Structure 1
Amino acid sequence: MTHTTRTLFGLLTDAVRADPERRTLIEPVEAGTARHHVEHTRLDLLATAVDLADLLRSHGIGDGDGIAVWLPSWAEVYAWQFAASAVGAHIIGVNTRYNVAVVGNVLTKARPAALVMAHGFRGIDFLPTAREAVAEAREALEDREALSSDPEYRAPVVVVSAGPGVDLVPPEVVDRYGLGAGAVRSPVPGTTGHTAAEVLARADAYRTEGSPSTLSVGFTTSGSTGLPKVAAHCEHAVLHHMSAVAERLGFGSGDVMVEPLPYSGVFGYMAGMAALAGGASVLLHPVFDPEALLDDWERFGGTHYVGGDDMIARVRAAWEGRRRDLSMWRWWGVADFQGMSAELAAWSAGEFGTVTSGVYGSSEVFSLLTFWEDSVPPAQRIRGGGRLSAPDYAYRIVDPHTGTEVPEGHRGEIQLRGPNVVDEYLGDRRTPDGTPASGSAMDTNTTEDGWFLTGDLGEAVDDRSFVYVCRMGDVIRLKGFLVDPAEIEVHLAEHPAAEIVKVVSRTDGAGEPEVVAFVQPAPGSAPDGDELRDFCARRLARYKVPAEVRVIERMPTRAGTNGSKIKAAVLRDWARS
């Protein structure tokens, strides 16, 4: 007999039976220059999910099918996850910032049966991009002889959504969205107005129990070495992890997760889902605007936030211009993208009593895989890493050259094992019996004894906690020592004229590695590169001192699903020129 478990959809029906009117999602709605909020209840979310499940079922979409959701972080995106669970399908998040090449790559690998698209979002026309992406996906699949058993590309049914506060898209507009398999409009926005009994009766027609191995969600990877992969996780893993994180964070009914990160990315997704699992609300913010975010944060009493230092730096600047009451802000899970975490953690602690913790995770192993206990001293707590979120997760630190574990206090690759680890890369090559083929992504990222290779450098703290140092590709070997660029960045950033610092490596005239530091100056300052280098030399071992410090007007950045990241590859090119 196949083991079954409660599904995400089943979890939502249970929550509605327990407390149908509890608030789940707080959604801003813009109508011209006016702005208001809709506070969605559990019953609203279930009613919308059932409406979407009806739509999927009417188009024959169900077990094992993928649904690519290319929407901003509206309340509707949460409903799509629960609707997919209801019919046994899985969601693939597509960021609204993705270009033709990335969207085409996602459609090629994931081959979704449905593509949910936004109409009229901030005046952006996604349709030309979708048409080109479908054409690229069709061409790519036709060229792959390995797919000879199913070589024909099948275009997805397009579901068109106008978003919150907008009337349904007219039929003549919907028809233009057809990409070869037709287009329909989403029944969202709005709520059905049905009673809890009526909605639960409709929900009984759908899947509330299911196999733990049913895929639930797929996230695109960072794509730092090319076009991204799509890392998919089964439903049991999603449920298990969101519940474990909710328990560790101690969410309650009065808590509010402030959520400006896109739901399509693993950090935005898991922060929101963990909040719902713990009975808290999620304050949505589809377009990052620090002033509007602060207004909403104060109004709804935001208690938790997960995100990079880049966003909070902009929030602080806006707050300093016009202060709001953020005294309810208890916890910040920080990803250090621009080397400002320590400074911002001190600011939030001093002003609001916020506890800041470094976090760790990825598309392949979930976000919030680790974070630190509140009792850990602040200087340690802001570093990436922390304690594993569930007892059945395991890690080890391994010498990447020998494959042997290293003792505590030594650095090596972080390897992970547990139900949180990616179950499948969509579109990955497989053997006739369904196992990953030799050389496939799953094969190359997993050791023979079943450990997942993260590609991250770390250091063990104890048997349940580790420190994330940096990506293995970013570590620099200087005079025989493995050096994390952040060690140099932290010291240089202490100079009052340095706002953002990034360190990269290059090769000197003798063929040996050396470092170059790039500094974005603080507003109103004009530091000299030699002066900054001398400042660094007074604080660091000689071999860690940058060969050169360059002052630049602004760091080159790219917008990712989890925040803005500095383009290290661009800086490396600049360092060599």
Structure 2
Amino acid sequence: MLQGACVAGGRVTRRRGENVNDFKGKTYAEALELLAERYGETEALVFGEQRYTFRDIKAEADRASRRLLRMGCRPGDKVALWLPNRPEFLWVWLGASQAGLVTVMLNTRLKRDEAAYQLKQSDSRAVVVPGEGGFRDFLEDIAALSPVVAGGSAGGELPMLERVIACDPPGADYPGALTWDRLDEAPADGGMYARDPDAPALIVYSSGTTALPKGAMLTHAVWRKAFDHGERFRQSADDRLYLCVPLFSILANVNGALTFWSRGSCVVLDERFEAERALAAIERERCTAVYLLPLMIDRLLAYDGFEAFDLSSLRTGIVVSSNPDHQSLAAEKLGLRDLVTSYGMTETSSAVTRTWWSDPLEVRTTTHGKPLPNIEVRVAEPDTDAPLPPGEVGEIQVRGYNVMAGYYNKPAETARAFTQDGWYRTGDLGEMLPDGALRYLRRHGDGFKYKGFNVSTAEVEAAIRCHDGVREAAVVGLPAGAAGEVGGAFVVPEPGETLSAEELMDALSAQLASFKLPAHVFFLDALPKTAGTDKVQKYRLKEFALAELAARGCQPDTGA
């Protein structure tokens, strides 16, 4: 066992014993080879009736690499995944990244224009989508953006996009779309693998608080990071994770699949959350861990027949909430007695701090744990970046091997995100406790989280301002119980214009993913602003919204 050390809030703290991390310095290909050698025929993935071992995962990743290379992809090329949860998501991701390509993960709830921005901004040369039978017609959206789907050459709104690949038969309407399992494969070649563990291998878009999303570039070091997650779960090869959180999220891909695979554990993957199917899968597969949003907990406990399911195998997991009541409910009602809490984000390759499974429940529900090995976490004064002592509230800042390589093709945003001495500015407020643990409090700037999704208020405001007749717009987050927060939009019409909430929402529905849509719209003659700087006083808007909703006898919508 090794004894690790890290800087937390300007102090050095010693850790409990942590396992030797064999993934340090390894690439995707080397990590997958290590898993295949170490765990071989151990079950690694369950998806419905499909079951895969660790050797199968390596074989599928290699097959994906050969297909992408035969198709003409070269090291550094971007391959986008616009897929719901299914095994092909994992095969393409692992195969692309181990071959030196960069996998770009897109939220499946993005509207066409939102997806177009991310595909274009990332310079994606190929995109993989479902075919017939998907919950939406992804090919129809791509066809409206690129002539490739109809059999033409690259062009349209996505001039870099050369290949569109469907996991299912694409149908006669899309003659230019390729079918994944019919692609030719390049010959097996050990030289096809990437060798630089510090090279970008993944781009995940994070809304943050700016008007346009930014693509965080993560390196092969996500494997090293994933392994260190598991120690504080008391994770072993006997564990089985039920995972229905979308794979495009950092919680599911790095903090979920890679974390559990890195220690030989099985992932029971589901394409979506439904209370009955989740309960049945946990019982049938004897899952020991589960990742949940507060609304999922509510629906599981409210399901008629909940008591009939045997969930005694469950012992640990993560609840995506900073509300201690949600953590306690999961521990008491679902049996997650070893659940842990964490703090992290996409730009830091997921969790940078984590509690231990053995910490008292009060500690695990009211703090977010101590830094993981070789990661520095501090709380600093937001305007000066000066470190603050324990107990003082400031911006959480992170430094270490795990922090993103930067925002793709956004040098100015990347520069602003770091201090001169390399600390990443998270934009979150928190405090360091005397024992070296971190407590996250809230976002420092604009933005809120709805049902686990980050929503940029600036992005929604920009969409509202595009609507004819809108002079000004501001959006704030309003409390919504288990859903987190919902958007409250404040709109100032142009003089003489008459707008309706229904008209505005119809327009926004065509522009924004459903989780970004405001739950409430308020029309004002003017936005409250500060004297001199002319900045919108959003705290006053929030106060107005809460008072107005209370007067109407209603509360902010939690959504479906």
For structure 1, the 5+ residue unaligned runs are 29-36, 142-152, 163-168, 190-198, 429-435, 477-491, 520-528, 530-545, 558-563, 565-577
Quote the Cα distance in structure 2 between the aligned partners of 1:188 and 1:43: 22
Q: Secondary structure at the match of 2:385?
A: coil
Quote the Cα distance in structure 2 between the aligned partners of 1:475 and 1:239: 29
Quote the Cα distance in structure 2 between the aligned partners of 1:510 and 1:516: 16
Deviations 1:428-452 (A, max 9, x none): 2xxxxxxx3xxx1101111112111
Deviations 1:378-403 (A, max 9, x none): 233224632222x2111111111333
Tell me if 1:300 matches 2:302.
no
Give the number of equivalent residue pairs: 455
Q: Which of residues 454, 458, 464 in structure 1 aligns to 2:430? A: 458
Which position in structure 2 is the counterpart of 1:185? 179
**Aligned partners of 1:416 and 1:452 also within 8 Å:** yes
Structure-2 change in CA distance of 1:54 and 1:303 (3 Å): same
**Aligned partners of 2:237 and 2:265 also within 8 Å:** yes
Matched to 1:452, the amino acid is Y
Which position in structure 2 is the counterpart of 1:67? 79
* 509-518 or 11-20, which deviates more: 509-518
Deviations 1:344-374 (A, max 9, x none): 5235335525233322221111222222123
Give the deviation of 1:336 after TM superposition. 1.3
Structure-2 change in CA distance of 1:129 and 1:330 (3 Å): same
Quote the Cα distance in structure 1 between the aligned partners of 2:208 and 2:160: 25
Q: Secondary structure at the match of 1:295?
A: helix
Which position in structure 1 is the counterpart of 2:524? none
Which position in structure 2 is the counterpart of 1:17? 37
Which position in structure 2 is the counterpart of 1:405? 387
Q: Secondary structure at the match of 1:95?
A: coil
Which position in structure 2 is the counterpart of 1:480? none
Tell me if 1:176 matches 2:174.
yes
Q: Secondary structure at the match of 1:61?
A: coil
**Aligned partners of 1:61 and 1:87 also within 8 Å:** no
Deviations 1:481-522 (A, max 9, x none): xxxxxxxxxxx99xxxx8878699999999995664989xxx
Matched to 1:91, the amino acid is T
Quote the Cα distance in structure 1 between the aligned partners of 2:301 and 2:545: 23
Which position in structure 2 is the counterpart of 1:94? 106
**Aligned partners of 1:458 and 1:466 also within 8 Å:** yes
Tell me if 1:8 matches 2:2.
no
Structure-2 change in CA distance of 1:283 and 1:379 (3 Å): same
Tell me if 1:159 matches 2:165.
yes
Give the deviation of 1:188 after TM superposition. 8.0
Tell me if 1:128 matches 2:140.
yes
Give the deviation of 1:93 after TM superposition. 0.9
Which position in structure 2 is the counterpart of 1:256? 240
Q: Which of residues 366, 372, 394 in structure 1 aligns to 2:355? A: 372
Give the deviation of 1:287 after TM superposition. 1.6
**Aligned partners of 2:100 and 2:194 also within 8 Å:** no
Q: Which of residues 35, 48, 51 in structure 1 aligns to 2:63? A: 51
Quote the Cα distance in structure 1 between the aligned partners of 2:530 and 2:414: 39
Give the deviation of 1:15 after TM superposition. 2.4
Matched to 1:348, the amino acid is A
Matched to 1:246, the amino acid is G
Quote the Cα distance in structure 2 between the aligned partners of 1:140 and 1:213: 32
Tell me if 1:349 matches 2:332.
yes
**Aligned partners of 2:371 and 2:437 also within 8 Å:** yes
Structure-2 change in CA distance of 1:474 and 1:548 (3 Å): farther
Q: Secondary structure at the match of 1:275?
A: helix
Which position in structure 2 is the counterpart of 1:552? 554
**Aligned partners of 1:13 and 1:46 also within 8 Å:** yes
Deviations 1:171-223 (A, max 9, x none): x64x8163xxxx3211289xxxxxxxxx9x97653545611222111111025
Identity of aligned residues (%): 25
**Aligned partners of 1:108 and 1:427 also within 8 Å:** no
Tell me if 1:360 matches 2:319.
no
Structure-2 change in CA distance of 1:317 and 1:17 (3 Å): same
Which position in structure 2 is the counterpart of 1:382? 365
Quote the Cα distance in structure 2 between the aligned partners of 1:13 and 1:499: 41
Give the deviation of 1:419 after TM superposition. 1.2
**Aligned partners of 2:107 and 2:248 also within 8 Å:** yes
Structure-2 change in CA distance of 1:503 and 1:285 (3 Å): closer
Quote the Cα distance in structure 1 between the aligned partners of 2:484 and 2:95: 44
Structure-2 change in CA distance of 1:324 and 1:177 (3 Å): farther
Matched to 2:165, the amino acid is V
Structure-2 change in CA distance of 1:470 and 1:554 (3 Å): closer
Structure-2 change in CA distance of 1:9 and 1:21 (3 Å): same
**Aligned partners of 2:407 and 2:414 also within 8 Å:** yes
Quote the Cα distance in structure 1 between the aligned partners of 2:304 and 2:207: 31
Tell me if 1:469 matches 2:479.
no
Identify which of structures 1 and 2 has the higher relative contact order when contacts are C-alpha pairs closer than 8 Å and 6+ apart.
2
* 392-401 or 410-419, which deviates more: 392-401
For structure 2, the 5+ residue unaligned runs are 1-23, 148-153, 449-478, 491-526, 532-536
**Aligned partners of 1:255 and 1:281 also within 8 Å:** yes
Tell me if 1:238 matches 2:222.
yes
Quote the Cα distance in structure 2 between the aligned partners of 1:550 and 1:354: 41
Quote the Cα distance in structure 2 between the aligned partners of 1:115 and 1:308: 29
**Aligned partners of 1:336 and 1:384 also within 8 Å:** no
* 64-73 or 303-312, which deviates more: 303-312
Structure-2 change in CA distance of 1:158 and 1:240 (3 Å): same
Q: Which of residues 310, 325, 329 in structure 2 aligns to 1:325? A: 310
Which position in structure 1 is the counterpart of 2:20? none
Quote the Cα distance in structure 2 between the aligned partners of 1:268 and 1:321: 25
Structure-2 change in CA distance of 1:207 and 1:307 (3 Å): farther
Which position in structure 2 is the counterpart of 1:568? none
Q: Secondary structure at the match of 1:155?
A: coil
Q: Which residues of 2 match residues 529-548 of structure 1 at below 5 A?
A: none
Structure-2 change in CA distance of 1:377 and 1:138 (3 Å): farther
* Aligned-CA RMSD value: 3.6
Deviations 1:46-72 (A, max 9, x none): 222222112111122131111101111
Structure-2 change in CA distance of 1:501 and 1:60 (3 Å): closer
Tell me if 1:269 matches 2:275.
no
Q: Which residues of 2 match residues 110-149 of structure 1 at below 5 A?
A: 110-134=122-146
Quote the Cα distance in structure 1 between the aligned partners of 2:438 and 2:318: 16
Give the deviation of 1:6 after TM superposition. 3.2
Structure-2 change in CA distance of 1:296 and 1:157 (3 Å): same
Structure-2 change in CA distance of 1:395 and 1:553 (3 Å): closer
Quote the Cα distance in structure 1 between the aligned partners of 2:261 and 2:330: 28
Q: Secondary structure at the match of 1:352?
A: coil
Matched to 1:336, the amino acid is S
Quote the Cα distance in structure 2 between the aligned partners of 1:286 and 1:412: 39
